[in-house]
Structure 1
Amino acid sequence: MDPEQLYTAFVNELEHRDLGEKTIRAYSNDIRQYMKKYHDQDSLSPQSFRTYVGEMLASNLKASTIQRRIISLKLYVNFLVEHHWIAAFDFKTLRFHRNRRLPRVLSRFEIQKLLQCLYDEQETAKTSFMNREAVRNTAIIELLICTGLRIGELSLMNVDDINQHSWTFIVQGKGSKERILYVSSLETRKAIRQYLRVRAKFDPQDSALFVNKFGLRLSIWSIENVFYKYRDISHISSQATAHYLRHSFATELLNNGADLRVVQELLGHASITTTQIYTEIATVDKVNALRQYNMRNMIQINSRLLQ
């Protein structure tokens, strides 16, 4: 097979794996990017792999992008080795250590400002359509705050996924893994009920829970834009993304004493190692420990400068 045929075969196999659509697209695009630089038989040589990684390390690419592209390349090479199209290759020589970044969160005050902005817009909406959009947007942000959903999971939700008697709903997570979440906030429940009463006026074209003005399922990018709109109006952190709400959800649970394993299940993390990073920014136990045990708190100095 020529490189193009090998690429097509690789993408076909990805589509039959237990991977999300977004992940498949990212891996496919990464390999396509690689093939633009190495488009002949030399593209399958260990030297080409090393050169490509070296060029990325020397570039201004984000560490997360480099790491993902290496993962994509590793998947591609393993696929070729398994089918005996190339000789085995030791990927330890391409190992890349990414500096860990702590999750960014919003404070309770910022989340309160965000919610207040949404409810204020409902009261000041000048047309019935603007009011319906405000009601929908309130339900979206309320659900993200209350449950820690990924925006991709929110986009995939259907009306029938929510049980208004038990207030549980089914989530289609990464890799088509399902989990059940619970809407614990009475205010969030009210926001969802209010939206469901006006949803029909959007003329939905299918069973999608959240739809746009044309009645079509809201995309991930549309949900992000909803968040950005109210982020800017409420004047909270200008760097915030909708994913900050998920980080804030997890951090607050741990701050309030939730078990790490339970938080892992609520977030839909495959590994508890992913969840453990939130313990780094859960501050309540650390603050209490420092207040109670820090040696400096117990040392008294007599000085007019401290009066």
Structure 2
Amino acid sequence: MSTLTKLIEEYLQYCQARKGLDTKTIRAYRADLRDFGLYVESQNGDFLKKESIGNYVDFLHSEKAPRTVRRKIASIRAFYHYLTYMEEIAENPLYRLDLTFRLPQRLPRYIPNHVMNTFYQELYAQKEKANTPYQLKCAVRDIAVIELLFATGLRISELCGLKREAVNLYDGEIRIHGKGDKERILQLTEKATISALAEYESLFQAEIRRSEYFFLNKYGHPLSDQSVRDMINRLAGAASISMHITPHMFRHSFATYLVNQDVDIRCIQEMLGHSSIRTTEIYTHVDKAKQRNVLEAKNPRKLLDMENVR
């Protein structure tokens, strides 16, 4: 085992035992650092030299998408910070190495209202078409999942990791443990959402009682994000929706619809669980329909007195 491989493994153990990072984050760190190690070894480089790290970053820029490059750089930065902190190395080779670059602006993709209506019609139609108790339970769970995603803007990881004691339908609120183990409480105000969750809880009460999680699969295990993706794809296909819909698009749609109704951006930030207002500001783009309505009704050109214009 090379020195770099050994240090990477020690770092990952530290992330799990001392920092308490979740399995998905550690898996991503492992993949990013493994790729870095393989590149350095293939080039006969030295992981303590700025030149080796700089060459790897240049390689990433030539091969990977900008957001992937940013994530891999962040993984490397955290690794070398650990090495310096633990005094495994005398000096951090990332010091005075410029790794910053501008990401292209990409607006979040949300689900248009007419597509959302079509999706919801199919969602509830599946319940009406259920022929067996098992099919009914699955349809009821699917409705509860989508209703909660769209009504609260939860991340899919937050929904799948929702604990049973975090759901309080009596008071109409849920307690969320978001990124960085930050806790926030979201209010449930829509009657349709509360009703869907209550029906799900009633049908799955035996399974929920045996588990610490709220949303469960047929085996009584926590519902996975892939299961939710598969369910959304199945419903979209049944509804003949050509748009590719992902779980995260319900979060984008939740935020975008609120922004378009002039809800205060800091209120949206709190509901989404963003640590920075800059993250939430990506939703402040105005859709074309609203832009056209504003310009038609409020265009400053209308204020001109044409009789006095020569």
Asked whether the two chains share a fold, i.e. TM above 0.5, the reply is: yes
Deviates more, 1:69-78 or 1:15-24: 15-24
**C-alpha contact 1:139 1:191 (8 A) present in aligned 2:** yes
Contact 1:106/1:245, CA 8 A, preserved across alignment: yes
- Which of 123, 142, 162 is the matching residue for 1:157? 162
In structure 1, distance between residues paired with 2:99 and 2:165: 46
Mapped partners of 2:20, 2:218: distance in 1:
33
- Unaligned runs of 5+ residues in structure 2 are 305-310
Partner of 2:58: 54
How far apart, CA to CA, are the structure 2 residues paired with 1:281 and 1:25?
A: 37
State how far apart, in whole Å, the 1-side matches of 2:90 and 2:204 are: 54
Is the 2:127–2:139 contact (alpha carbons within 8 Å) kept by the matching residues of 1? yes
Match of 2:118 among 95, 102, 113: 113
Counterpart check, 1:242 vs 2:242: no
- Residue 69 of structure 1: how far off its partner (Å): 0.5
From 166, 170, 179, the counterpart of 1:174 = 179
Residue 277 of structure 2: aligned partner: 272
Cα deviation 1:93-146 (Å, max 9, x = unaligned): 222321121000001221111111111010111211011100001100010010
Match 2:67 to one of 37, 56, 64: 64
The 3 A distance-change label for structure 1 pair 186 and 100 is same
Q: Residue type matched to 1:80 in 2?
A: L
In the other structure, the counterpart of 1:233 is: 238
CA contact (8 A) 1:162 1:168 kept: yes
Distance (whole Å) between structure 1 residues aligned to residue 274 and residue 287 of structure 2? 18
TM-score by length of 2: 0.88
Counterpart for residue 202 of structure 2: 197
- Asked whether the 8 Å contact 1:153–1:172 carries over to 2, the reply is yes
Q: 1:82: Cα distance to partner? A: 3.0
Counterpart amino acid of residue 65 in structure 2: K
The 1:191/1:73 distance shift into structure 2, 3 A limit, reads: same
Equivalent residues of 2:45, 2:52 under 8 A apart: no
For the Cα contact (< 8 Å) 1:168–1:183, is it kept in 2? Answer: yes
Of stretches 191-200 and 33-42 in structure 1, the one that deviates more from structure 2 is: 33-42
Higher mean C-alpha deviation, range 215-224 or range 265-274:
215-224
| SS of equivalent to 1:239 | coil
Q: Measure, in 1, the Cα distance between the counterparts of 2:38 and 2:58.
A: 16
Question: In structure 2, what is the equivalent of residue 224 of structure 1?
Answer: 229
TM-score, with normalisation over the residues of structure 1? 0.89
Match among 199, 210, 218 for residue 215 of structure 2? 210
Identity %: 32
Residue 46 of structure 2: SS of its match in structure 1?
helix
Q: Which residue of 2 aligns with 1:27?
A: 29
State the 1:165 CA deviation.
1.6
Q: Deviations over 1:60-109 (max 9, x none)?
A: x2221111001111111222233341523336522232112100000122
Please state how far the C-alpha of 1:205 moved relative to its aligned partner: 4.3
Partners in 1 of 2:124 and 2:20 — Cα distance?
40
Amino acid in structure 2 at the alignment position of 1:63: P
Going from structure 1 to structure 2, the CA distance change for 1:17 and 1:260 (only over 3 Å counts) comes to: same
Q: Higher mean Cα deviation, 192-201 or 12-21?
A: 12-21
Q: Report the counterpart of residue 12 of structure 1 in structure 2.
A: 13
1:37: which partner in 2?
39
Deviations 1:150-205 (A, max 9, x none): 00000011222111221101011001111000111101111111111111465864
- Once the two structures are overlaid, the 10-residue window that deviates more, 170-179 or 284-293, is 284-293
Deviation by residue 1:213-236 (Cα, 9 ceiling, x = unmatched): 111111121122222221222233
Check conservation: 2:11, 2:79, Cα contact below 8 A. yes
> Number of paired residues?
298
Q: State the partner residue of 1:87.
A: 91
Deviations 1:253-303 (A, max 9, x none): 11112111110000000000000110014567644531234367789xxxx
Q: Distance in 1 between matches of 2:296 and 2:287?
A: 16
> What is the DSSP-based 3-state SS (H/G/I as helix, E as strand, rest coil) of the residue aligned with 2:154?
coil
Equivalent-residue separation in structure 2 for 1:245 and 1:120 (angstroms): 20
Structure 1 distance, partners of 2:199, 2:12, is: 43
Aligned to 1:305: none
Counterpart contact for 2:164–2:212, Cα < 8 Å: yes
- Aligned residue for 1:44, secondary structure, equals coil
Q: 2:108 and 2:84 mapped to 1: Cα distance?
A: 37
1:33-66 deviation line (CA, Å, top 9, x unaligned): 111222477123211111111111111x222111
